[in-house]
Amino acid sequence: MKGKTIKEINLGDRASFEKTISETDIYLFAGITGDLNPAHIDQLEAEKGMFKGRIAHGILVSGLISTVLGMYLPGPGTIYLGQELKFLAPVRIGDTIRAEAEVIEKIDEKNRIKLRTQCINQDGKVVIDGIATVMPPR
């Protein structure tokens, strides 16, 4: 399985991936990373905070962008070089998130592309916005 090369990619190409965030996802991510912030794993403490309940780790949610880039556009063989992220809204247990990527720039001589990346919840609200830089497979 091989992803698209820079010659096969056009400005405006798009891909997406969708997942519902579960309580298990949050606990597994907390265990893997060691980020046991009560905002993510302790309902009683989280209720006292600004979001009035537990929320998913922003980096967990932004990880869905990696799925889009590594599996769909450009796809397998892609090297993820950088990512700018803005966390705009919380993601809660049970939210369905669609990660999207759109090619906005090609740098043929360096074999690089830039993609607008967004994570959008089931209500159409953008929860994460950013720009990714990747190297597609040759």
In angstroms, the CA 27 to CA 135 distance is 32
What are the residues whose beta carbons fall under 8 Å from the beta carbon of 45, sequence distance 6 or more? 38, 39
Relative to beta strand 112-120, strand 126-135 is antiparallel
pLDDT tens, position by position, 5-34: 999 999 999 999 999 999 999 999 999 999
Considering the chain, what is the average pLDDT of its residues? 96
The arrangement of strands across the sheet holding 14-20 comes to 14-20, 96-107, 112-120, 126-135, 79-87
Give the predicted TM-score (pTM) of the model.
0.92
Give the angle subtended at the CA of 18 by the CAs of 14 and 20, to the nearest 5°. Answer: 160
pLDDT tens, position by position, 88-121: 999 999 999 999 999 999 999 999 999 999 999 9
